């Protein structure tokens, strides 16, 4: 990401996250992301020891700022494989089939929010 977007991220970190977070490390982490790349909340949790509610508050604030766009990823936890994404909650199917194990999975329990980078200037 480039400087304008990174400064939006830095301000959002200061307003959304607790003061123990390493702001420089977190901004550096975002430097590696470019438009159309996916950000997984679990990666932030592991790298920066943030809680899941904190991470979602932070990422949804970045979505409000036009930096990220949220998507629902359909995910088979048996195979640990993504079966695609939908952008809107009402686009979630009732169930979906895993292409690997052919299990029919309820979409609501087998999807989670991920974020795509949509701004980099
Ligand atoms: Zn599967």
Q: How are beta strands 68-76 and 81-86 bridged, if at all?
A: antiparallel
Q: Which two tokens stand for residue 73?
A: 């990823």
How many A from CA of 80 to the centre of ligand 1? 7
**Sign of the dihedral defined by the CA atoms of residues 106, 110, 113, 116, in that order:** negative
| Cα 84 to ligand 1 centroid, rounded to whole Å | 13
Per-residue model confidence as pLDDT tens digits over 38-61: 999 999 999 998 999 999 999 999
Taking ligand 1, which is a single-atom ion, which protein residues have CB atoms under 5 Å away? 76, 78-79, 98, 100-101
Whether 4 has a pLDDT exceeding 80, the answer reads yes
Q: Which domain holds residue 65?
A: 1-121
Tally of domains within the chain: 1
pTM for the structure as a whole: 0.90
Kindly list the distances between the CA atom of residue 105 and the CA atoms of 21, 73, 111, in Å, as whole numbers in the listed order.
37, 13, 10
Tens digits of residue pLDDT in 87-100: 999 999 999 999 99
The rounded Å distance from CA 30 to ligand 1 centre is 31
Give me the mean pLDDT over the 62-85 stretch: 96
CA angle 112, 113, 114 (to 5 degrees): 120
Tell me which DSSP letter residue 91 carries.
Answer: G
DSSP summary character for residue 102: -
Mean pLDDT calculated for residue range 27-41:
96
> Residue 54: phi, psi to the nearest 5?
-60, -45
* Residue entry with tokens 């999975």: 105
């Amino acid at each position: 990401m480039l400087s304008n977007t990174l400064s939006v991220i830095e301000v959002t970190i200061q307003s959304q996250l607790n003061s123990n977070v390493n702001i420089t490390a977190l901004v550096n982490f975002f430097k590696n992301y470019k438009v159309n790349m996916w950000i997984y909340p679990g990666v932030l949790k592991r790298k920066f020891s943030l809680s899941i509610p904190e991470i979602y508050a932070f990422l949804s604030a970045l979505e409000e700022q036009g930096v990220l766009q949220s998507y629902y990823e359909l995910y088979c936890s048996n195979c640990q494989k993504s079966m695609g994404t939908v952008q809107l909650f009402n686009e979630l199917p009732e169930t979906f089939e895993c292409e690997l194990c052919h299990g029919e999975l309820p979409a609501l329990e087998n999807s989670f929010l991920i974020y795509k980078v949509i701004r980099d200037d």
